[in-house]
Chain A
């Protein structure tokens, strides 16, 4: 089945540690996105990528990094510089970011907590 796979489902980070969240899609979508959701809050955009080997900062990129070496993969690294990483992280993709009628579809998410 086509879809977006995020792993792991739950992740725990120790102080000073970098952790990487995986996002893979087999929908042949060009655009991929990372969002963060805190309790009672809307989704906030961390990074997005419209094409392989290119990505842009979203609204809250500080303390995060990404790569887009393959069309189907867009991993997110939460660095030790991110002081409040506990959140629900959602990866999304869309066919393209250049058309207004293309919705974003989401993976199942990763819950990150601090030990």
Chain B
């Protein structure tokens, strides 16, 4: 089982709709979760972080975490063409070497917002 799984997409939504991006992880001791946006040819950019079960909202973005189901999602409301990008889920857990946290990335979901 892969450590962090995302649907590769592409996920296509019309402008103004809600885009829902999902991520599951295999390690129950994972403790913090990040969503990064990566435009084509560019580097990843942090957009959300979440540590506790429930929802966390920041502008048009809402991150949702369910540790019991090992599931984290990102909702983008009022999607805009400028939101078209690959969204990477990253899961943080204490490393097996016992000296630091380790961040593991999913392969990303490509989102296309159609005008």
Contact = CB atoms under 8 A, between A and B. Distances in A.
A23 to B, nearest CB: 12
Interface string A30-57: 0100000000111101001010000010
Nearest to B36: A106
A90 B99 CA distance: 23
B88 interface: yes
A104 B103 contact: yes
Interface stretch (A11-19, A64-72, A78-86, A95-103): A95-103
Q: How large is the interface on B (under 10, 10 to 19, 20 to 34, 35 or more residues)?
A: 20 to 34
Contacts, number: 53
B32 A101 contact: yes
A109 interface: yes
Contact of A97 (B4, B34, B100, B105): B100
Contact of B100 (A41, A50, A90, A108): A50
Contact of A90 (B43, B46, B51, B107): B43
Contacts of A31: 100
Nearest to B32: A100
Interface of B: 4, 8, 31-32, 34, 42-46, 49, 51, 88, 90, 92, 97, 99-103, 105-108
